[in-house]
């Protein structure tokens, strides 16, 4: 438990550090290198368009990241009749009646909260993912993947121009790291160039991981399931996939694709307010 709590603090700091490094490299290294002659650069040059695209992706990734953290799981302890004095352990052990808990709720020991429609605990956000922040979490994964792949393309263009390399051959990228390490220790490669090459592989790994996780999460949403339900073998009532999507993304789903917006309120919350 101590290791998990430490990871819950280190992982968000690691993500923010990677984001800061990516932003600095893009703004102060990759984008300026695209300008041949700034005095004659047209308004809609590739460098300016790339910079606008990167800022759009970064703003959406960071905005949804903040909303995932801000939209923390609801403290349903009182509403689920868990008992006075925080007797959560009784509910976890199954001594409470089944009617005292909502379906798909789970108590997270790291968050010390009961999350409605619990999916999993994300260490990179330091928060549980549930009904309140599922849409923002998916948007965060999507835009993080796109920002990493965008940085990968810009970094490869920078390395190709700096080291006079060609990435037409697919094997050129796979053999780039071994050759770069040997050249770095022989003194033929600068430390800054070696750092960019290492970041290329890091962006590739993060981008593919976020894209795969986003696709897997979307598949579960279409089926009306969560990772917690699949892990526990819970039976889910079959519903049309359109209703499952609307439950997570709401009717204003297009707005959530363009700008970071708060997630739709859960059905439990709406019923409670009524």
Whether the pTM exceeds 0.95: the reply is no
Q: Indicate which residue of 122, 128, 141, 148 is catalytic.
A: 122
What average pLDDT does range 236-260 have in this prediction? 85
User: pLDDT tens-digit profile of 135-160?
Assistant: 999 999 999 999 999 999 999 999 99
**CA–CA distance, 193 with 179 (Å, rounded to integer):** 13
Q: Is the pLDDT of residue 62 over 60?
A: yes
Burial 34-44 (b: 16+ CB within 10 A, else e): beeeeeeeeee
User: pLDDT tens-digit profile of 89-118?
Assistant: 444 444 343 444 455 677 788 877 777 888
Q: Among 35-39, 75-79, 88-92, 151-155, which range has the highest average pLDDT?
A: 151-155
**CA–CA distance, 105 with 116 (Å, rounded to integer):** 5
Question: Catalytic site residue 122?
Answer: yes
* Residue in the structure block whose two tokens are 């959530």: 256
171: which 2 tokens? 């094997």
Q: Is the pLDDT of residue 273 over 50?
A: no
| pLDDT for residue 98 | 41
Q: Is the pLDDT of residue 228 over 60?
A: yes
pLDDT-above-70 percentage for the chain: 80
Structural contact between residues 77 and 86, judged by C-beta atoms closer than 8 angstroms:
yes
Specify the higher pLDDT residue, 155 or 37: 155
Q: Domain segments of the chain: what residues?
A: 9-73+134-273
Which of the four pLDDT bands, split at 50, 70 and 90, describes residue 38? low
| pLDDT for residue 97 | 38
User: pLDDT tens-digit profile of 206-222?
Assistant: 999 999 999 999 999 99
| pLDDT for residue 83 | 42
| pLDDT for residue 234 | 83
- Give a three-class secondary structure readout of the chain: CHHHHHHHHHHHHHHHHHHHHHHHHHHHHHHHHHCCCHHHCCCCCHHHHHHHHHHHHHHHHHHHHHHHHHCCCCCCCCCCCCCCCCCHHHHHCCCCCHHHCCCCCEEECCCCEEECCCCEEECCCCEEECCCCHHHHHHHHHHHHHHHHHHHHHHHHHHHHHCCCCCCCCHHHHCHHHHHHHHHHCCCCCHHHHHHHHHHHHHHHHHHHHHHHHHHHHHHHHCCCCHHHHHHCCCCCCCCHHHHHHHHHCCCHHHHHHCCCCCCCCHHHHHHHC
Parallel, antiparallel, or unpaired for β 106-108 and 113-115? antiparallel
Average pLDDT of the residues of the chain: 81
| pLDDT for residue 91 | 45
Q: Is the pLDDT of residue 162 over 60?
A: yes
């Amino acid at each position: 438990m101590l290791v998990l709590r430490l990871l819950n603090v280190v992982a968000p700091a690691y993500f923010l550090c990677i984001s800061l490094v990516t932003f600095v490299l893009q703004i102060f290294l990759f984008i300026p290198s695209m300008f041949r002659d700034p005095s004659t650069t047209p308004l809609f040059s590739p460098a300016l368009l790339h910079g606008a695209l990167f800022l759009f992706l970064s703003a959406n990734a960071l905005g949804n990241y903040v909303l995932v953290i801000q939209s923390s799981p609801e403290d349903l302890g009182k509403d689920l009749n868990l008992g006075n004095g925080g007797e959560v352990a009784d509910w976890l052990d199954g001594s409470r009646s089944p009617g005292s808990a909502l379906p798909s709720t789970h108590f997270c020991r790291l968050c010390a909260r009961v999350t409605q429609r619990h999916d999993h605990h994300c260490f990179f956000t330091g928060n549980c993912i549930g009904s309140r922040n599922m849409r923002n979490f998916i948007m965060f994964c999507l835009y993080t993947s796109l920002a990493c792949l965008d940085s990968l393309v810009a970094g490869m263009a920078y390395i190709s121009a700096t080291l006079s390399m060609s990435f037409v051959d697919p094997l050129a990228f796979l053999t780039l790291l071994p050759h770069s390490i040997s050249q770095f220790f022989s003194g033929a490669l600068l430390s800054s160039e070696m750092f960019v090459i290492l970041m290329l592989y890091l962006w590739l790994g993060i981008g593919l991981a976020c894209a795969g996780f986003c696709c897997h999460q979307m598949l579960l949403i279409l089926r009306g399931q969560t990772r917690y339900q699949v892990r526990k073998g819970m039976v889910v009532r079959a519903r049309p996939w359109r209703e499952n999507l609307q439950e997570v993304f709401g009717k204003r789903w297009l707005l959530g694709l363009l700008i970071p917006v708060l997630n739709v309120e859960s059905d439990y919350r709406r019923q409670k307010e009524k």
